[in-house]
Amino acid sequence: MKNDRSKGTVCVTGGAGFIGSHVADAHLAAGRRVLIIDNLSGGKRENVPEGAELHVLDIRSEEAADLVRNAGVEILVHHAAQMDVRRSVEDPVFDAEVNILGSLNLAEAARRGGVRQIIFASTGGAIYGEQDYFPADENHPARPVSPYGVSKLSFERYLFYYYVTYGLNATCLRYANVYGERQNPHGEAGVVAIFLNRLLSGQAPTINGEGLQTRDYVHVSDVVRANLAAVGRPGFNIYNVGTGIETSVVDLYKEIARALGTDLQAQHGAAKQGEQQRSVVDGGLGRRELDLPQPIPLSEGLARTAAWFRERAERPVAAAAAK
């Protein structure tokens, strides 16, 4: 679809990453001009959709602020972050520099540059901490137990300040455990990508502890739908983006193995110290107020994700055979 700049300019930070690139795709398909800010520390150039304008910048930089302030941006979709929970524990100062000060750098530029709305990629599991009830709705107490969760909650509070003080509309989307095509299987990766990558390499994945810890796994396509539905939402809003369904790591592995058609058994390693045992969010408010559909079933999302990972794993083999 040809890009129609009359539909507005969107700036997606972290737009070369897993989730951000899918969001950028969707805004381009909607006919918007899309600017991407990404320092490529975790994102990849190959993820940047054709038609988007990539600016290799750090969100803490004056150059990034200048772009947001002066490029006619109407909607700032903020996904760039220090996203490694373990690193946030080891170096909370760095986490705050990126996730709080970097985000504030953009927020100040946004309010000075006339941006109408900020859509912020927040976190569901890390903000609520150990839950009092399941699934957690948006009224559940926010008790983050990692610097990463603290930094995400902090910027949500700053966005409320910017709305009250300057009238800058803001929507915070608290994601559950997002998985899907383009997810990085290395570094601070999601367990779905790690398991798929290992299985396609013929290696048995390792499950930490008994694998009974649960998470809410939401496919990236549902996250994209929430982002698009939030566009133009007035006021200050917080929405969970999840399925409301708990899945244990053991059951997740069974579903992934089924999607790949393998009977390779997973290994069990030592449990992670301090790992949250249960995390699941209620996305009903977003479905009601943003008119979102029911999230796609885990089996369907895993089948799509497994097909994408398999295709990429087979591509080098096919290329070698063609020589």
H helical segments located in the chain: 18-29, 62-70, 85-90, 92-96, 103-112, 125-128, 147-166, 191-200, 220-230, 249-260, 284-289, 298-322
pLDDT band for position 3 (cuts 50, 70, 90)? very low
Report the alpha-carbon distance of residue 295 to residue 221 in Å, rounded.
Answer: 9
Sequence-distant (≥ 6) Cβ neighbours of residue 17 within 8 angstroms: 38, 42, 43, 44, 47, 79, 80
Predicted confidence at residue 187, as pLDDT, reads: 64
Q: pLDDT value at position 64?
A: 99
CA angle 28, 32, 35 (to 5 degrees): 80
What does the pLDDT look like over 253-264, one tens digit per residue? 999 999 999 999
Record the tokens describing residue 239, joined without a space.
């929405």
Percent of the chain with pLDDT over 90: 91
Q: Which pLDDT belongs to residue 52?
A: 98
Q: Is the pTM of this model over 0.85?
A: yes
Is there a catalytic annotation at residue 133?
Answer: no
Q: What is the predicted pLDDT for the residue at 2?
A: 40
- Calculate Rg over the CA atoms of the chain: 19
Residue 322 has a pLDDT of 47
Give the amino acid at 176.
Answer: A
Q: Domains in the chain and their CATH numbers?
A: 5-179+218-244+277-296 (3.40.50.720)
- What is the structure's pLDDT at 316? 60
- Which one of the listed residues 128, 148, 175, 253 is annotated catalytic? 148
pLDDT score of 4: 43
Instruction: Dump pLDDT digits (tens) for 49-100.
Output: 999 999 999 999 999 999 999 999 999 999 999 999 989 999 999 999 999 9
Question: What's the confidence (pLDDT) of residue 201?
Answer: 96
**323 confidence band (pLDDT: 50, 70, 90):** very low
- The predicted structure's pLDDT at residue 210: 96
Site of tokens 């948006």? 138
